[in-house]
Amino acid sequence: MKSTTIVFVLLLAFIANTHAQNDLGIFNLQSDIGDVKHQGTTTYDPETQTYQLTGSGANIWFDKDEFHFAHKKTTGNFILRTHAKFIGEGVDAHRKLGWMVRTDSATDAPMVCATVHGDGLTSIQYRKKKGEQIEEVIAPIKAPDVIQLERRGGSFFLSVAKYGDLFWSVEVPHFEFPEELLTGLFVCAHNADVKEKAEFKNTRIVLPAPAELVPYQEYLGSHLERMSIDTGNRKILYTVDNSIQAPNWTPDGETLIFNSEGLLFNYDLNSNKVSQLPTDFVKNNNNDHVLSFGGKMLGISSASGEEEYGSLVYTVPVAGGVPKRITPTGPSYLHGWSPDGKWLTYTGGRNGVYDIYKIASDGKGKEIKLTDQPTLDDGSEYTPDGKYIYFNSARTGSMEIWRMRPDGTEQEQLTNDSLQNWFPHISPDGKSMVFISYLPEVPAADHPFYKQVYLRTMPINGGPIKVVAYLYGGQGTINVPSWSPDGKHIAFVSNTLID
């Protein structure tokens, strides 16, 4: 056979095994690993940002893997997260889906996978060296639909949950893998003669902050996201390689207002276009900005006034203009506007102690102190009926959700768990709230950037708490009210290094 013919045959074989498509979402290749009988496929719906994988393969076990793989190359640390399920009844109870990373495409390559079987068995499976037998650690959670695989230095972490619950996690250490790995989603039929199908949504490859990143001086990229409260389905609306923070939803449902690099911006949900919201001399804005209930006015916090005060509170028409200063002193960080439009609530740092205050929204009169604790009180927000102000407080040693009457009386704790809970935002119907929760190791009085966090919901009067989003974010994710006017969605920011 002539050399040119050999090259052509090899090229055809490569194309048959690795199917590149114009749109595979965050991936750029799909491949069948091993000698499968039936070619697999990956499809991606850009509207729903959902993947469907169909694959064959006898197994992923011992020293030989066969499966279908949608993947890309990643370098260094990462957090892989998806919501996954099989489609159809299936043939073999041990069909598999999940995340996988491999050193290469050889059938016996070193690899790690976060695996859910058709019968619900869930484990982290791994082959530390080429040609070795696979080992595994089995999770106590059966049939989770939220699957996360994290690389942190020489360790891999499996985290799984049934949607709504907190993660169960385990670490497997001592891997000597190269920096660059093939990373992606997989499906395996566990039966060489059939193909199985799986669906993956809310799929994210997060490149976390390096250890040397200096907070508030260096920033990761940002995704502006919208999520259905009922289904948990998320959609990335807008992505930038710098920091955007704290989206507000305007009452007409057509615009999200967020801040970035000291300025405010409008994101038009119909055209997907971004425009600056003019605030004249007030240009050093932070992520504490709040719309009035009627949507005609915008309250903002900014360090554009006297330098010795730091952040001060201003109001401005929602279309922009020259802001009016409201608070006489600072630092003052705005969080709430009363439904009747008469009051603003904010966190005030006075003599090194941060409590909650309110002041007339026209700036007339003195500020009124509503809480008086030596620990941090923050995140104050009125209910739509004006009967309560909800806030977060570290007065018990952990950061928890509280509420009080608008005059500061009847202060009542609503959460008491292992997490650090911040920024309660009340639904438009006044029946529930959403808030952000940090893991226990984060100090109670801190809400840093770039952590693994949960967004959780709870009935307005307290009760069962449900996770609605698993994400990498923190400061700037959901500092301000961000419910859609119809109460069906929330908006928030997640973070990653944009590669």
Nearest to 495 by CA among 449, 440, 446: 449
Q: Average pLDDT, stretch 345-362?
A: 97
Type of residue numbered 344: L
CA-CA distance, 213 to 196, in Å (whole number)? 43
The pLDDT of residue 146 is: 98
CA-CA distance, 445 to 49, in Å (whole number)? 36
Q: Is the pLDDT of residue 8 over 70?
A: no
CA-CA distance, 446 to 287, in Å (whole number)? 15
DSSP 8-state symbol, 336: E
Residue span(s) of the chain under CATH 2.120.10.30 come to 221-496
Q: What φ, ψ does residue 85 adopt, rounded to 5°? A: -155, 150
- pLDDT grade, residue 96 (50/70/90)? very high
The pLDDT of residue 22 is: 56
How does 121-152 read in b/e, with b if 16+ C-beta sit within 10 Å?
bbbbbbbeeeeeebebeebebeebbbbbbbbe
Question: Residue 93 is encoded by which pair of tokens?
Answer: 């109870």
61-86 pLDDT per residue, tens: 999 999 999 999 999 999 999 999 99
Using an 8 Å Cβ cutoff, are 384 and 339 in contact? yes
Sheet holding 420-426, edge to edge: 420-426, 432-438, 451-459, 466-473
**Average pLDDT across the chain, whole number:** 95
The pLDDT of residue 355 is: 98
Other residues' Cβ atoms within 10 Å of the Cβ of residue 280: 12
DSSP secondary structure of 233-274: -EEEEEEESS--EEEEEPTTSSEEEEEETTEEEEEETTT--E
Q: Is the pLDDT of residue 14 over 50?
A: no
Please give the share of the chain, as a percent, with pLDDT higher than 90: 94
* β-sheet bridge partners, residue 378: 392
The pLDDT of residue 117 is: 98
Q: Is the pLDDT of residue 472 over 50?
A: yes
Q: Average pLDDT, stretch 26-37?
A: 97
Question: Residue 315 is encoded by which pair of tokens?
Answer: 């109001």
Q: Is the pLDDT of residue 2 over 70?
A: no
Nearest to 339 by CA among 294, 290, 284: 294
Report, in angstroms and rounded to the nearest whole number, the Rg of the chain calculated over CA atoms: 25
Question: Residue 258 is encoded by which pair of tokens?
Answer: 């967020």
DSSP secondary structure of 428-489: TTSSEEEEEEE-TTS-TT---SSEEEEEEEEETT----EEEEEEEE-TTTS-S--B-TTSSE
Nearest to 146 by CA among 418, 469, 488: 469
The pLDDT of residue 10 is: 34
The pLDDT of residue 305 is: 87
Q: Is the pLDDT of residue 21 over 70?
A: no
CA-CA distance, 33 to 56, in Å (whole number)? 10
**CATH fold of 221-496:** Neuraminidase (2.120.10)
- All residues at 6 or more sequence positions from 255 whose CB lies less than 8 Å from its CB, including other chains: 249, 266, 267, 268, 269
153-210 pLDDT per residue, tens: 999 999 999 999 999 999 999 999 999 999 999 999 999 999 999 999 999 999 999 9
The pLDDT of residue 9 is: 35
Q: Is the pLDDT of residue 43 over 60?
A: yes
Can you give the pTM of this predicted structure? 0.94
Q: Average pLDDT, stretch 363-368?
A: 96
- pLDDT grade, residue 139 (50/70/90)? very high
For 175, half-sphere exposure in the C-beta direction (CA atoms, 13 angstrom radius) is 29
389-437 pLDDT per residue, tens: 999 999 999 999 999 999 999 999 999 999 999 999 999 999 999 999 9
How does 17-33 read in b/e, with b if 16+ C-beta sit within 10 Å?
bebeeeebbbbebbbbb
Type of residue numbered 353: V
Q: Average pLDDT, stretch 113-141?
A: 98
Q: Average pLDDT, stretch 366-390?
A: 98
Nearest to 223 by CA among 454, 471, 487, 466: 471
Q: Average pLDDT, stretch 218-242?
A: 98
Q: Is the pLDDT of residue 259 over 60?
A: yes
CATH architecture, range 3-206 = Sandwich (2.60)
H helix or E strand, kind and range, residue 225: strand 221-228
Sign for the pseudo-dihedral over CA of 307, 311, 314, 317: positive
- pLDDT grade, residue 232 (50/70/90)? very high
120-133 pLDDT per residue, tens: 999 999 999 999 99
Residue span(s) of the chain under CATH 2.60.120.200 come to 3-206
Q: Average pLDDT, stretch 227-233?
A: 97
